[in-house]
Amino acid sequence: MINSGVASTAYFFKRYRDAVPWLVLLTVGVVYFYFSLRITGNIFTPTHTNYYMYLLDAFVHGRVNVTPPSTYDLSLYHGRWYLYWGPAPLLLLWPFYLLWGLNASDVLYTLLASLANVVLIYLCICEMKRYFSLSLSLMAEAFLILSFAFASPNFFLSLTGKIWFTSQIFATTFLFLFYFFFFKYLLTVRVNLDANQRF
């Protein structure tokens, strides 16, 4: 009886091999949302250091200085307040600004970006497997995804928003986007070289 249960489980994982990592990612998302909600109480309420929305608003109005209600950890120069964090996350924060303006929750967009990081590391693993012709077992892929999701700073940084954590999460997002497109490019170059050598 036990052997038939093990066989049916193995059959399920073999048949739905491509779906299992996505189920792992979905589970990670539920856990991230749960802990963020438990810690913050409301993932739709911005923190007092939601400076990226104020920087985006400043850019929209032709300025680079910000006028947030809190100036904690900002740089004062000639009577104006500036962020010392890079503006790159603004590229991905437009939808939040368009929907909620200055009230967009940094908790929410940091949480979503951290979940995107978990998805991106899985996509990077897939591209690296293709490029290097690696064979990873399903358990190895799940282990790598879960290790990044829960054993790296990505989990802790994702839960409460705040400018310091948000900037690190988005730095990781851009790094993984680079890796993903870099390996896609390398694969395209390899395919083109192979095609040219045949002719």
Q: Which tens digits make up the pLDDT trace of 183-196?
A: 999 999 988 887 77
Contact 52, 93 (CB under 8 A): yes
If phi > 0 it is left, if psi is from -120 to 50 it is alpha, else beta; for residue 109 that is alpha
Residue-wise pLDDT tens digits, 135-176: 998 889 989 999 999 999 999 999 999 999 999 999 999 999
Whole-angstrom Cα distance, residue 109 to residue 12? 35
Nearest to 171 by CA among 146, 194, 189, 153: 153
Cα(177)–Cα(116) distance, integer angstroms: 10
Q: Is-contact 19 34, C-beta < 8 A?
A: no
